[in-house]
Amino acid sequence: MLTEVLILLFFSVVGVALFRRLDIPAVLGYLVVGLLVGDHALGLLTRSHAMEQIAEIGVVFLLFTIGLEVSIPRLIAMRNIVFGIGLVQVVISTVSTLVLGMMFGLTWQAAFAVGGALAMSSTAIVTKLLTEQYELHLPHGNISLGVLLLQDLAVVPFLVLIPIFAEPGAGSLLVPISLALAKGALAFAVIFYAGQYLIRPAARMIAATHSSELFTLFILLIALVAAWLTWKLGLSLAMGAFLAGVMLAETEYQHHVENEIRPFRDVLLGLFFISVGSQFDWHIILDETLEVAVLTVGLIAGKGLAITLITAVAGYGRGVAIRAGILLGQGSEFGFALLAVAITSGLLSLDLSQPIIAAIILSMAISPMLIRHNEAIALRFAPEYAGSLDRAELDMASVYSDMQDHVLLCGFGRTAQNLAQFLKREGIPFVALEIDTDIVSEAREAGEPVFLGESSNPEILRLAGIETARVLVVSFTEHKAAERIAKTVRELRPDVPLIIRTRDDRHLESLLECGADEVIPDTIESSMMLARHTLAALGKDLRSIQEMLQEARKGHYARIRAFFHSLDDVDLQTPDHHHLHSIEVLPRYHAVGRSIESLRRLQQIRIIGLRRNGVTSDDPLSEVELKPGDVLIIEGHPDEIQAAEIEIMSGL
């Protein structure tokens, strides 16, 4: 068992790292790992009942996190998409696959299971690419999220019905389905009331201990107890976990729970995908190429076309409908889970499911390439959509085409809205571009000059008056989007002052290289404001405080960017971040008796100070010789600091 675990870990690390480097979803990496170590390739992994059970628990945690994301207010807000487009899509996809399956000789029960598996789209792939491409809040992004939400909900009834259809008995299905619904209602009631009167107060007590370990154990207990309860009632493990997630989604600990459970979910779900991959016979792609190709094209084109038509009938433009169809035209990780249930319950044989598994895997591999070019594909089949991209998204921005000396705001979140208040008080006109439709509609109703548009689009910037703008401000903190905007702005207006906000200073240099005049890091500016108020409370002169802050801002915060960091600050372990580090010179070190200037690697970093005999001197002279007990305080990038420390210790 240990040998197999080591093999799995090794291949998983190598495979997932490679797929990440190629910007391919990790799901496919796990599937390839399973394929390599399975019986149909290297044969390193023997089929283990314990491994299958662990993999099934991975599906349990997946459903638990899906439940955490089910928000009743969100469902109500997106009800037209969720229960309109989403529900119709799942029904049409399932029924059409059921009919085709029966035509090719499957029983209706097996065809139903296949239809449910193929009706699902990959939440992981779609949301990842939408986020990276900043399309999450655009119309086709909202449609995709709503449909995915319904698909996530639809998994639960499929998990309930597939085992029932596997053993329908001699009589009608009405009795077992009614019994399952009654059991589900009972499980929901028990979990709901337990959550209200037991789990929620217990969660508050455990959170009050400030013990992350205890909180994680508590969440694991809740998820698995709920899964055990539904299993005891004759339902699936995953259904109980889903209901527990829905219950906890309405508490104040939703995001904390999701953060704590994610590592367990990712690892165990990875084992599930490995187990799926290990059972997949890749030879079927060569032996039954035509069948697999037809299934793959049918899955991508058929589902994509269905979603496109449903979206168009719902009243959306052809371009938006095509983009939504492209986004959702692939198989899903849930498809593997439903197929696994169908195989376990005896509805499908493993051999019969091989072409279906191949089609899902291939569709998930092809889909990212289509999604990355969804706009170009939509323009190819709906040329009139170009006009909506350039002008309808910006709405009535042409009204402001004659505006002079205005401020152009990219993003209209809380920070930009606060800035807009100061601009209005000074009588300075502004135009804001935002991709969140909710913010745009609310702001427009309030009379604000805010328009729906992608700030990195040159035509959108022209319509917003980039040629006559006095200043352009990027108010959100996504650095990749800011870099794209900066490059586009510099091509259109090399002379316009460009101010960019960031969360911290990790990407300060890269943003400056892209053309920013000023980069404002939130963390550094907030610490400077804290210093201002503290010094003022101590009675220091406001003018001298202001001069001190201006001095700190010179050279892009060069004097104050570095800081001592914890080993837990994983996000700060990047080459772009400045670190402070103290090195004590011990008697046996190579640097004892040598001057600072004689140590080559110390010249590549900045020496902040030297502490000797309890006294710290700033900017020590380079000819100072180091003594045992000296403490050097240095600033630099992590690699440079490590190299300097090695030289001080050993002379290497």
User: What DSSP string runs through 42-61?
Assistant: T------HHHHHHHHHHHHH
Considering only 68-72, 375-379, 621-625, which range has the smallest mean pLDDT? Answer: 68-72
**404 or 499, which is more confident:** 499
In this prediction, residues 451-471 reach a mean pLDDT of 85
CA–CA dist 200, 209 (Å, integer)? 15
Q: What Cα–Cα distance (Å) separates residue 627 from each residue in 281, 515, 631? A: 67, 46, 9
2-166+173-381 has CATH 1.10.10.10 classification:
no
In this prediction, residues 488-496 reach a mean pLDDT of 92
Residues paired with residue 579 on neighbouring β-strands, in sequence order: 563, 636
Compute and round to an integer the Cα radius of gyration of the chain: 29
In this prediction, residues 615-626 reach a mean pLDDT of 78
In this prediction, residues 334-345 reach a mean pLDDT of 85
Q: Is the pLDDT of residue 578 over 70?
A: no
Confidence of residue 407 (pLDDT cuts 50, 70, 90): very high
* DSSP letters spanning 453-495: --TT-HHHHHHTTTTT-SEEEE-S--HHHHHHHHHHHHHH-TT
Residue 469 phi, psi (nearest 5):
-65, 145
**471 or 566, which is more confident:** 471
State the average pLDDT for the chain. 81
**9 or 92, which is more confident:** 92
**pTM of the predicted protein model:** 0.67
In this prediction, residues 461-472 reach a mean pLDDT of 88
Under 8 Å between Cβ of 518 and 500? yes
CA–CA dist 475, 420 (Å, integer)? 11
Under 8 Å between Cβ of 71 and 145? no
Confidence of residue 57 (pLDDT cuts 50, 70, 90): confident
Residues 205-263: tens digit of each pLDDT:
887 787 878 888 888 888 888 888 888 887 778 788 888 888 887 676 777 787 777 78
User: Residue ranges per domain, the chain?
Assistant: 2-166+173-381, 393-557, 570-650
Helix axis angle, 200-208 relative to 212-232, nearest 10°?
160
Q: Is the pLDDT of residue 389 over 70?
A: no
In this prediction, residues 405-425 reach a mean pLDDT of 91
Q: Which pLDDT belongs to residue 652?
A: 67
Q: Is the pLDDT of residue 572 over 50?
A: no
Under 8 Å between Cβ of 190 and 229? yes
Q: Superfamily assignment of 570-650 in CATH? A: Regulator of K+ conductance, C-terminal domain (3.30.70.1450)
CA–CA dist 645, 581 (Å, integer)? 10
CATH number of the domain at 393-557, please? 3.40.50.720
Q: Is the pLDDT of residue 499 over 90?
A: yes
Residue 445 burial (CB < 10 Å; 0-12/13-18/19+)?
A: exposed
Query: Which is nearest to 574 in space by CA: 483, 508, 478, 499?
Result: 508
Q: Is the pLDDT of residue 401 over 90?
A: no
Confidence of residue 399 (pLDDT cuts 50, 70, 90): very low
Q: Which residue has the tokens 């991975």?
A: 58
**377 or 273, which is more confident:** 377
Confidence of residue 556 (pLDDT cuts 50, 70, 90): low
In this prediction, residues 82-104 reach a mean pLDDT of 91
Considering only 166-170, 273-277, 381-385, which range has the smallest mean pLDDT? Answer: 166-170
Q: Is the pLDDT of residue 130 over 70?
A: yes
Q: Which pLDDT belongs to residue 208?
A: 79
Residues 6+ positions from 29 with CB-CB distance below 8 Å:
12, 15, 16, 18, 19, 20
**652 or 467, which is more confident:** 467
Under 8 Å between Cβ of 36 and 212? no
CA–CA dist 583, 298 (Å, integer)? 63
